[in-house]
Structure 1
Amino acid sequence: MVLGKKYMDGSKSETQMEEFKKMIEEWFLLNGVLNIGDSIPWIGFLDLHGYVKRMKALCKKLDQFLEQVLDEHNAKREGVKDFVPKDTVDVLLQLADDPNLDVKLSRNGVKAF
């Protein structure tokens, strides 16, 4: 809903849907695991279960996905003179382009939201 598209309904290719589904499942799994390095900080660098490595890999995949989403929304906005935002990403990108804001919103800020 926030991104303006359904990524699980067949509107994308089968491989993209499966990859997105795997990313979401991995994200939920990694949010719920007990990492020994969090409980015993002096052995955290060992990454005994490999969770930190998996988190970093997932971070890269999600960043690529969100970059693609932002690029699609920017391309959609580019040719239109009086563009009306249709979803949250459009609103955030419009705010990021606003030069009158006291606090500037960067591309990373838009992805974080």
Structure 2
Amino acid sequence: MLLHICSKPTLVISRPDAAHEIMKNHDVIFSSRPASSFSRKLLYNHKNVAFAPYGDYWKQVREICVLLLLTTKRFQSFQPVREEETKAMIEIIKKSCSSSPSFFALVDLREVLMSLSNDVTCRINLGKKYGREDSVGKKFRKMIAELSYLVGVFNVGEFIPWLAWVNYVVGLEQKVEKSFQEVDSFLDQIIKDHILKRKIKDYGDHAADGVGQDFVDFLLRLQEDKSAKNTIGRENIKTIVLVSNTS
């Protein structure tokens, strides 16, 4: 069934055989996500594997993410990080229990497990965790939460172009621009810190095999590799790392 949601044609598939036809025989046609002006602005013109349209660039970024960043060897190299953060989580639960005056202690496991996931992801992607206790960590979490919301927020201008001015009236366009500037500045500083770290002598001991490197380190190394057939620039590094943290 074909529906037109304002200016957007939407195909509704309700039968298994029709879904099979779409997913198997016409997958290339339907493989790209619908373009959004907000996500295009916030995610550097869709230069990441999650939002990039299907094509040569998407294949290249997918190869970097799946075959280079997420190999078994690289996954195993981050095992100490996962173990350290899991132990830290257990200590937090222990402290919550010991500080309780009664036999039973209330622990918000949802918050604890989300913090664990956030800390592991940040250390693997950025080389540092941004905890909920420190001010930088709070700012980082707020930025990511705001960006995730704005990427998926309803954009009236996408569906009814002549009502695009509503986004300015309600402040959505201003929020998108502010969010992008904050996240871009934050990621730019992270990359500068990593470049500075790479210039330190002691860091060269781990550079050859990738041990001790996070995703930003690896992408910077890939960018410097003149023999590799890639078009990785600073914006590509930012958006790949950003989507890894928000997903």
2:153 to 33, 38, 43: 33
Q: What residue identity is the alignment partner of 1:97?
A: E
CA distance in 2, matches of 1:109, 1:78: 22
Bigger radius of gyration: 2
CA distance in 2, matches of 1:76, 1:111: 17
CA distance in 2, matches of 1:6, 1:71: 17
Q: Which residue matches 1:62? A: 183
Aligned residues: 110
What is the RMSD of the two structures over their aligned residues, measured on CA atoms? Answer: 1.8
Q: Which residue matches 1:24? A: 144
CA distance in 1, matches of 2:227, 2:205: 18
Q: Which residue matches 1:75? A: 196
SS in 1 for 2:125: coil
Structure 2 contact 194–217 (Cα < 8 Å) conserved: yes
1:49 aligns with 2:190: no
Q: Which runs of 4+ in 1 moved over 4 A?
A: none
- The change in CA–CA distance for 1:28 and 1:102 in structure 2 (over 3 A counts) is closer
Structure ranking higher on relative contact order (CA contacts 8 Å, 6+ apart): 1
Structure 2 segments unaligned to the other structure (5+ residues): 1-123, 241-247
Q: Which residue matches 1:101? A: 228
CA distance in 2, matches of 1:89, 1:18: 21
Structure 1 segments unaligned to the other structure (5+ residues): none
Q: What residue identity is the alignment partner of 1:60?
A: Q
Q: Which residue matches 2:130? A: 7
Q: What residue identity is the alignment partner of 1:49?
A: V
